[in-house]
Chain A
Amino acid sequence: MRFRTKLTNAETFSKLTASLSSLGKTCWMRLEPGNIRFTIIPDQGTQVWAQLPIDAIFDESSYILESNSGGIINLEVPIGALHRALRSAVDAKSAQLRLTQKGRIPLLALTIRTLSWAPGSNALGITTAAPAPAPAPAPGTGPGSGSSSHDPPTITNGPTQAPPPSTTTTTTTDTTTGPARPGRERETVITQEIPVKVFHESAVEGLHEPRCRDPDVHIILPSLGQLKSISERFTKLASPGHGFASDAAAATKPTATGASAAAPKLELSANMHGSLRLAIATDALRISSVWSGLVNPSLDPGQLSQGEMERLPSERMRAVPGDDEAGWARVRIDGRDWGKVLSVGRLSPRVVASFVHETALILYVYLPGTFNEEDSCLTYYINSYAA
């Protein structure tokens, strides 16, 4: 079983893992020859099924994947730890991810090289006629070959009284890179080893995406940032005690059943005439925000025949006039869970929301720059609560 690749888009990968980690602690990561899938199935709350073409985050030419089960590797990954590790890679020059093993523990090892500029203070005031800064040594050749030849003497001769530091530094600099320079590039190599579990293919056979009937309304959501701030404000207003105390308590154990059951429910509804409504109601208040002029995307006509197309619920909803309440599909969702879902907004994606009236909300999150939508999509399945 082998998996190794270079990261081409560590920032996207990092943001993706950040969004996923808000919904669950562990993530099923399925590596396939052309795709990579991330799935989070929490005990309670929103499921995410994400699929990306490998070139969205990995370097296709260095992507090596071998396994006995049809070139597919299934991993269970602590997604928070992966995200934390990837943060080191965001500004890196290069980053490589590979599956390895230490003892009996399988690991995802992330090796990151970063370059930064070191100001010339390290030259210790040595003012030998320094020419223009020598180019930074090529990674892998400079430091290794240069230093190993002269380091041992330094150590064995090292007297117990600290010798004048400048001598050593001078020799080091001289032998490796020529005369002292006003500044140089520093290379740092960071290795993050994240313990993972490897699943056999048979262990994940039973897992499949939730199925539900054809949605009643499709609509492209407005800016997730806006939606998130309004949702959070509504949730906070309706929270018991109208304060932060309950929020904070629930945040510490987000999966605790009691906490989320008590959380306020947002009512989200939309129609096929470009309107989306976010509302919340309690004994004390009832507020709503309405967006209009949004786009209701049409389904790909190539996949459905004309007859099937007409029989779709969404087409029936389109026929209902815009001012008729019957044209609205409505779901009730957990305010706090919705906030976690909307954290995917950091990827600034285009999001299509599909409403199954009183049943479920499905979000199709398309990453920017990858509008080959079949390939690269995060699907969020959110159950509707009964009124």
Chain B
Amino acid sequence: MASLSFSLSPEAIYQLHDALMCLGKFGDNVSFEAEFDLLRLSVLNSTKTAYAAFAFDADKFFESYSFGVDRRNMSAGVQSHKFCCQVLIKALVSVFKGRASGRNKDTSVERCEFELQDNPDETECLLVIRLICGLGVIKLYKLTYEPVYIQHATFDRSRATNEWSIEPKFLKEVTDHFGPSAEQLDIYSEHGKTVFTSFTTKIADGKEILRQPVHTSVAIDKRDFEYYLAEDNRHIAINLKDFKAVLAHADIVHARLTARFTTPCRPLQFAYELEGVKSEFTLMTRGEAVEDDGPSSSRAAAPQLSARQTPAPVQVSQQRPPATDASRMPPPSSRSRSLRPLTGTSVGASQTPAESQRPQPPVEFDSLFVPADDDRQWDVPNDEEAPAEDELGWDATGDKDTFTASLRTRVPNEESEAAEMDQEEETGIPPTQRISQLHGLGLFD
């Protein structure tokens, strides 16, 4: 049994409303996670390619906040130190609908109280929201919630090798140039410019040239960034709709946006902080996993790799002798330990210090969602003889110029990966894990 109640000032109500509107662009249900010092609202989208989370600080954001767990009587969704549940975003947003404009009316909202009822003696699974308005008007809303087990996207900031920060309005200007049919966004930099290219993965009929999507690329000066610490010519692609959702919210709250990422096919995180609110958006990226093969594999082979905590590029295993690879594999027990936080006991964004300092095997994967990754194997079979169009769809890049190289290199790589995988199976690595790693298209690998 858990008890949670908090109250919000009008200002905080607007912030909460903005956050909910943003979360609503990622999914239908918002997850509440109450801890002793914060409340986290998060959404993991249905394809598990995007995770959005707002963490509200218990002291700074709320007028009052109280959370307690009765350990003798644990119900669903209650863990030793937190409580998780899920609510339909639409229902929650409708509570605050129209409140944003009612500031000057007599009956505008003066305070908002949330109370969660998780008592077997009373009505269970009810989220009660009380809007205390002027002139003694009280509006009462009762929503049902569903106790759930919440999945987090993990993202280890200390291992992100690329990072930039920018005012969201500059990026909004960029996205304004994209056409309505654009689906994906490729980002890279060269010659002091950062280039944003929109493209669409939909396979268009070859004859329907005029139906092909317009490619838009926008190059802005790196100096527009607050700082830009990302490798040149490192293409990374994300979903444009998710990107726009992040931008829209960051722009509303005037927060400077920071992006962190390592390599394509590994997650990218946008983050910004406001007074009492931390926002994090972890998105799947696509792109060419192998770009500068030589340097990265040699770096990966260097013994100090783990000490430097640079993330191991996904592709390193491809050209390394399997023996070396196998010798670096951690014992199964350590692997399973590394996965454990993903099942919900750890805080999403940053791993515990002990964990991140632990030597990382080069191909370690923090994939939470192994099943989602495995899904990919069903699509693969025709990889080898795939015609160009199929590869286009596959690679998720309609942009031939940008990714021609990847299209060509991909097939051989898949082959060598497969061959290598066989050998590694002999050394006792669980096959499912390997497949998910090697394909690496999911968000969390």
A interface vs B, CB < 8 Å? 25-26, 76-78, 81, 84-85, 88, 102-103, 105-106, 116, 118, 121-122, 124, 143-144, 146-148, 151-152, 154-155, 158, 160-163, 165-166, 168-169, 172-173, 176, 184, 186-197
A193 touches which of B180, B214, B226, B228 (Cβ 8 Å): B214
Q: Is the CB of A191 within 8 A of B217?
A: yes
A242 CB, nearest partner CB in chain B, Å: 31
Complex Cα–Cα for A176 and B209 (A): 43
Contacts A155-B232, A189-B193; A81 near B400 (Cβ below 8 A): no
- Which bucket holds chain B's interface residue count? 35 or more
Complex Cα–Cα for A18 and B286 (A): 35
B214 CB, nearest partner CB in chain A, Å: 5
Q: How many A-B residue pairs have CB under 8 A?
A: 130
**B219 (CB) vs chain A CBs: closest residue:** A189
Complex Cα–Cα for A161 and B191 (A): 24
The B interface, classified by DSSP as helix, strand, loop or mixed, is mixed
Contacts A146-B192, A148-B192, A160-B308; A195 near B221 (Cβ below 8 A): no
A112 CB, nearest partner CB in chain B, Å: 8
- Chain B residue contacts of A77, Cβ below 8 A: 210
Contacts A143-B192, A143-B221, A189-B219; A160 near B210 (Cβ below 8 A): no
Q: Is the CB of A165 within 8 A of B218?
A: no
- Chain B residue contacts of A188, Cβ below 8 A: 173-174, 218-221
Complex Cα–Cα for A143 and B223 (A): 9
A25 CB, nearest partner CB in chain B, Å: 8
A158 touches which of B157, B161, B209 (Cβ 8 Å): B161
Q: Is the CB of B209 within 8 A of A147?
A: no
Q: Is the CB of B232 within 8 A of A152?
A: yes
B400 touches which of A103, A147, A187 (Cβ 8 Å): A103
A86 CB, nearest partner CB in chain B, Å: 11
A222 CB, nearest partner CB in chain B, Å: 35
- Chain B residue contacts of A194, Cβ below 8 A: 214
- Chain A residue contacts of B158, Cβ below 8 A: 160-161
A85 touches which of B214, B219, B229 (Cβ 8 Å): B214
The A interface, classified by DSSP as helix, strand, loop or mixed, is mixed
Tell me if B224 is interfacial: C-beta within 8 Å of chain A: yes
8 nearest A-B pairs in the assembled complex, by CB-CB distance: A147-B192, A165-B227, A195-B212, A189-B219, A193-B215, A143-B192, A191-B217, A78-B210
**B193 (CB) vs chain A CBs: closest residue:** A143
Q: Is the CB of A190 within 8 A of B221?
A: no
Q: Is the CB of B191 within 8 A of A165?
A: no
A105 touches which of B174, B212, B231, B308 (Cβ 8 Å): B212
A273 CB, nearest partner CB in chain B, Å: 47
- Chain A residue contacts of B170, Cβ below 8 A: 186
Q: Is the CB of A84 within 8 A of B179?
A: yes
Complex Cα–Cα for A146 and B218 (A): 20
Q: Is the CB of A190 within 8 A of B218?
A: yes
Within 8 A of A (CB), among B143-175: 157-163, 165, 167, 170, 173-174
- Chain A residue contacts of B309, Cβ below 8 A: 160
- Chain A residue contacts of B180, Cβ below 8 A: 84
Q: List 10 A-B contacts (CB under 8 A).
A: A81-B214, A84-B214, A102-B400, A122-B226, A147-B193, A160-B161, A165-B165, A176-B223, A195-B214, A197-B209
Tell me if B310 is interfacial: C-beta within 8 Å of chain A: yes
**A193 (CB) vs chain B CBs: closest residue:** B215
Tell me if B230 is interfacial: C-beta within 8 Å of chain A: yes
A83 CB, nearest partner CB in chain B, Å: 11
